[in-house]
């Protein structure tokens, strides 16, 4: 269906470990800003009424990988691109979703809870989903079998990453808000604005480092990423609306499903013991990461101006 994709498996993107570290620092700062508005009593509500949480987890780890597999069969891309799509769908929701949910006036506590659960679940669910759906795809296309390498996620590394990106910034931010309420009221809006600037700057830098590849090959995978990302947002929104969740929860689950941890996908793809930077997979994950920031900010910004009919 998409011609010319074969060339992607012959190139390598300029996306270093330093770039991923910079992204982690950016996320940690953004999470501190998000934490300034969190309230513990809302977390209690999330635990006492787990319906939204269970639906959010199901949308990410059950429904989205399944729909991605169907999408792959329909558009019939090259094995590298197909497996890249399946790997991205198998990854947990991205930490940036917490900031976007806050910006969209969604249920931030639900978003943070879903992110934490998803990160822990990914230790098992990401390898399991990739092995299952990737293996099923390989049965349809024999050329994919040589790329199907078991994905192993270091449990301690995942927990450490979650603590650094979520635990520490959230704890510091919530304690700061509790003990310095006056200062918090003063800095909340500037920090939100600064977060948007940092966000945008990171997108520009990431794009600039690969501008030649972007100009030469973006036409090959942009539509695929656009459709795949739209499918993710639609999946989260549809599930939440189908089960008649409150508007704040609908926004949270929509964004949580639409923002995938493509950074984790890139770490796995560039691991020399796994995929060693297969071009098709890397292109999908890298530009998924860029595009979902743009689409996520667009969705959250639109919602930020729309009043909640029911909270």
Specify the higher pLDDT residue, 116 or 75. Answer: 75
Domain for residue 311, yes or no?
no
pLDDT band at 193 (very low <50, low <70, confident <90, very high): confident
- For residue 118, what are the contacts with CB-CB under 8 A and spacing of at least 6? 57, 60, 61, 92, 93, 256
Count of CB atoms situated within 10 Å of the CB of 132:
15
Domain for residue 227, yes or no?
yes
CATH number at residue 292: 1.20.1530.20
- The alpha carbon of 228 is separated from its chain's Cα centroid by a whole number of angstroms, namely 12
Domain for residue 310, yes or no?
no
Domain for residue 282, yes or no?
yes
From CA 238, how far away is CA 235, in angstroms rounded? 5
Can you read off the two tokens belonging to residue 130?
A: 């990739």
Is the pLDDT at 300 greater than 90, yes or no?
yes
Domain for residue 76, yes or no?
yes
Domain with 83 in it: 5-304
pLDDT band at 249 (very low <50, low <70, confident <90, very high): very high
DSSP of 180-234, one letter per residue? -HHHHHHHHHHHHHHHHHHHHHHHHHHHHHTHHHHHHHHHHHHHHHHHHHHHHHH
Cβ-count burial of 92 within 10 angstroms (0-12 exposed, 13-18 middle, 19+ buried)? Answer: buried
Give me the number of domains the chain comprises: 1
From CA 182, how far away is CA 37, in angstroms rounded? 13
pLDDT recorded at residue 68: 96
Give the closest residue to 163 by CA, choosing from 128, 196, 115, 127: 115
% of the chain exceeding 90 in pLDDT: 23
H and E: helices and strands count for the chain:
14, 0
Is the pLDDT at 159 greater than 90, yes or no?
no
Task: State pTM to two decimals.
Answer: 0.79
pLDDT band at 86 (very low <50, low <70, confident <90, very high): very high
């Amino acid at each position: 269906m998409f011609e010319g994709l074969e060339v992607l498996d012959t190139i390598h993107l300029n996306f270093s470990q330093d770039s991923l570290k910079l992204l982690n620092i950016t996320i940690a700062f953004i999470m501190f800003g998000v934490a300034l508005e969190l309230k513990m009593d809302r977390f209690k509500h999330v635990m006492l009424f787990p319906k939204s949480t269970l639906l959010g987890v199901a949308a990410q780890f059950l429904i989205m990988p399944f729909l991605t597999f169907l999408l792959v069969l329909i558009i019939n891309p090259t094995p590298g691109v197909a497996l890249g799509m399946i790997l991205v769908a198998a990854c947990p929701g991205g930490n940036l979703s917490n900031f976007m949910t806050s910006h969209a006036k969604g249920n931030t506590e639900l978003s943070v809870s879903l992110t934490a659960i998803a990160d822990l679940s990914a230790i098992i669910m990401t390898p399991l989903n990739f092995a299952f759906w990737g293996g099923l795809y390989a049965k349809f296309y024999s050329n994919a079998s040589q790329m199907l390498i078991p994905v192993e996620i270091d449990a301690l590394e995942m927990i450490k990453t979650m603590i650094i990106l979520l635990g520490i910034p959230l704890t510091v931010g919530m304690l700061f808000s509790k003990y310095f309420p006056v200062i918090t009221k003063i800095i909340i809006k500037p920090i939100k604005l600064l977060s948007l600037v940092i966000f945008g700057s990171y997108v520009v830098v990431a794009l600039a480092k690969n501008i030649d590849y972007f100009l030469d090959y973006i036409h090959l995978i942009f539509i695929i990423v656009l459709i795949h990302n739209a499918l993710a947002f639609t999946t989260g929104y549809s599930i939440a609306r189908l089960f008649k969740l409150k508007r704040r929860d609908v926004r949270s689950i929509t964004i949580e499903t639409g923002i995938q941890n493509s950074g984790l996908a890139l770490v796995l793809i560039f691991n020399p013991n796994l995929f060693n930077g297969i071009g098709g997979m890397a292109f999908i994950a890298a530009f998924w990461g860029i595009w979902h920031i743009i689409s996520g900010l667009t969705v959250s910004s639109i919602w930020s101006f729309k009043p909640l009919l029911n909270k």
